[in-house]
């Protein structure tokens, strides 16, 4: 049990540090970074949709089958993030419109990332409780999954009004949810039922964030050439998530 704790905590710390990938973008000049941000948002929207439909939902269906139960969990996720966004909008309406005020879709993305990282921590902990090799394999899969998603998340935060340093900081804070999830998983010992609820719930959240927040943001650009590149990066996000199936 002590070995499982050690390997689990080391693994989730490594996964959490991936959120600092935005450091590599600090040296890029603001005007150049601004030109590519919308494509990072496109990539993130595709990655969220791909993650929901290619990874999270098939995983949940495999465990509990497709039926009313899983549909309700997905709708619960959509409903939760709908209410959350309403609350964020309400707060924005009662706050002064000052410079540096971030857009609601960036805050929504942070909450979605928080839930996802918590699930990653739970899954890594559950894997190490099975065996060390299974834990290693799961950790590698999570790392390869997180790298493209963290790049997309960083772009969403910047596009939403965060400075580079604040984007890196908040991305890192949400990444720490993986450590919390791992500790919860290790303490509970058996977290399968909790994961079975959270997985489709997170999928619903990702579908909502991509469909209600990120894609409408992309539609603000009407120039044909840029719209085409947006679509290509959206497809790239899906393709990256699809390619991760080859590693299973």
> Is residue 179 one of the residues assigned to a domain?
yes
Question: Residue 1 above 80 pLDDT?
Answer: no
* Structure confidence at residue 96 (pLDDT): 42
Q: What is the mean pLDDT of residues 103-121?
A: 82
Q: What is the mean pLDDT of residues 115-142?
A: 76
* Structure confidence at residue 191 (pLDDT): 59
- Based on the structure, what is the number of domains in the chain? 1
Band (pLDDT 50/70/90 cuts) for residue 227 is: very high
> Is residue 14 one of the residues assigned to a domain?
no
CA distances from 200 to 14, 18, 56, 227 (A): 25, 24, 6, 31
> Is residue 153 one of the residues assigned to a domain?
yes
Q: Higher confidence at residue 95 or residue 25?
A: 25
Domain that holds residue 239: 34-247
> Is residue 24 one of the residues assigned to a domain?
no
Which of 171-182 are b and which e, b meaning 16 or more Cβ less than 10 Å from the residue's Cβ?
bbebbbbbbebb
């Amino acid at each position: 049990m002590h070995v499982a704790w050690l390997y689990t905590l080391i693994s989730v710390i490594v996964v959490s540090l991936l959120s600092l990938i935005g450091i590599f973008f600090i040296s890029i000049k603001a005007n150049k970074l601004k030109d590519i941000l919308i494509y990072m948002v496109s990539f993130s929207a595709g990655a969220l949709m791909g993650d929901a439909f290619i990874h999270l939902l098939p995983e949940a269906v495999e465990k509990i089958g497709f039926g009313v139960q899983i549909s309700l969990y997905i709708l619960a996720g959509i409903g939760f993030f709908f209410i959350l966004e309403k609350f964020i909008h309400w707060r924005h309406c009662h706050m002064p419109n000052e410079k540096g005020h971030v857009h609601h879709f960036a805050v929504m993305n942070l909450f979605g990332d928080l839930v996802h990282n918590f699930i990653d921590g739970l899954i890594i902990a559950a894997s190490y409780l099975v065996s060390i090799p299974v834990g290693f394999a799961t950790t590698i899969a999570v790392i390869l999954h997180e790298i493209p998603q963290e790049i997309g998340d960083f772009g969403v935060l910047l596009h939403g009004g965060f400075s580079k340093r604040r984007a890196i900081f908040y991305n890192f804070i949400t990444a720490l949810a993986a450590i919390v999830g791992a500790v919860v998983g290790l303490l509970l010992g058996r977290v399968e039922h909790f994961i079975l609820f959270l997985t489709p719930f997170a999928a619903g959240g990702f579908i909502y964030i991509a469909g209600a927040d990120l894609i409408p943001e992309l539609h603000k650009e009407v120039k044909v050439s840029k719209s085409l590149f947006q679509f290509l990066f959206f497809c790239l996000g899906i393709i990256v998530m699809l390619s991760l199936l080859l590693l299973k």
